[in-house]
Amino acid sequence: MFTAVPFHHSEGNWSSPTRLHADPELVDDALVTRATTDRPPGQPFRTAAIGGLAFTFLYLAHRLLQGTGPDSSSMEAVAAYQVAHRGALVASEVAVALALLAFIGFLAGLVPAIWRTGQETLAVAVGISGGVFVAMSFASNAAETALIGVADANQPAAVLALDQLQGRIPVVWTITALVAALSLAIWRSRMVGRWLGVAGLAAAAVFLVGSVFSVLGRTPEGGPSLVGVGLFIVWMLAVSVGLWRTAAIGGG
């Protein structure tokens, strides 16, 4: 960007500009461009991979510490299970909170990485669905923690309400949207193995069915929900490893 001295008319002739002034914004733009292009191309992928791997292992620890759950959905069974496994359940809630913090790092690296492949719309979709997933999961975490706290307080209504709430918070709907958007981005950009995009779209269809049953089912969770959790963990692990390999190839 340059600013020229105005032309002057003298005796019918147009004179040439005598001097050009460099716009200070040009220098700033050059610095920003240099800072952007100097960043290693694999850096966003590496950030996403580290966040994804940390999330996967912490979330797996959370599910293992939760155990198989009570034998029935009755207030007595739920309260008894919470009291008997209080220590492990509290540890599981700490693990899932740390996992969600790691997931923020996963999104922070992943969204700009997708954007740089030219898939801007899908990058926004992944960012929004991932952010809602984190928010809903923290809400579920709060309900589960509250359930642990009231389990031995002789408050049957609170136990039943919190048990239903933590199971009905639509986390699985957000997982469906996230996996579908990210899988489509993977398939279109090929930033990791394209087969992961196809597998993710198939998994998203499974999660969609689970989402419907989470609303219509009489109990918050069941055996099929554990299968869905396992599928999500395996897929996240595969994506994170794929992103790590992409970072290594890209020099990040």
User: Structural domain boundaries of the chain?
Assistant: 1-9+17-38, 41-250
Residues 144 and 95: their CA atoms lie apart, in Å, by 13
Q: Residue 109: its pLDDT value, please?
A: 94
| 252 residues of the chain, pLDDT tens digit each | 444 444 444 444 444 444 444 444 444 444 333 334 444 457 889 999 999 999 999 999 999 999 888 887 788 888 999 999 999 999 999 999 999 999 999 999 999 999 998 999 999 999 999 999 999 999 999 999 999 999 888 888 898 889 888 888 889 999 999 999 999 999 998 888 889 999 999 999 999 988 887 777 666 565 557 788 899 999 999 999 999 998 888 644
Q: Any bridge partners for residue 13, and if so which?
A: 10
3-state secondary structure of 74: coil
Give how far Cα 67 sits from Cα of 70, 87, 114, Å.
9, 12, 36
Q: Residue 28: its pLDDT value, please?
A: 45
The two structure tokens encoding residue 16? 């040439």
Which residues fall within 8 angstroms of residue 1, CB to CB, at 6 or more apart?
23, 25, 26
Phi (first) and psi of residue 217, to 5 degrees: -65, 155
Q: What is the pTM of this model?
A: 0.79
Residues 252 and 247: their CA atoms lie apart, in Å, by 5
Q: Residue 36: its pLDDT value, please?
A: 41
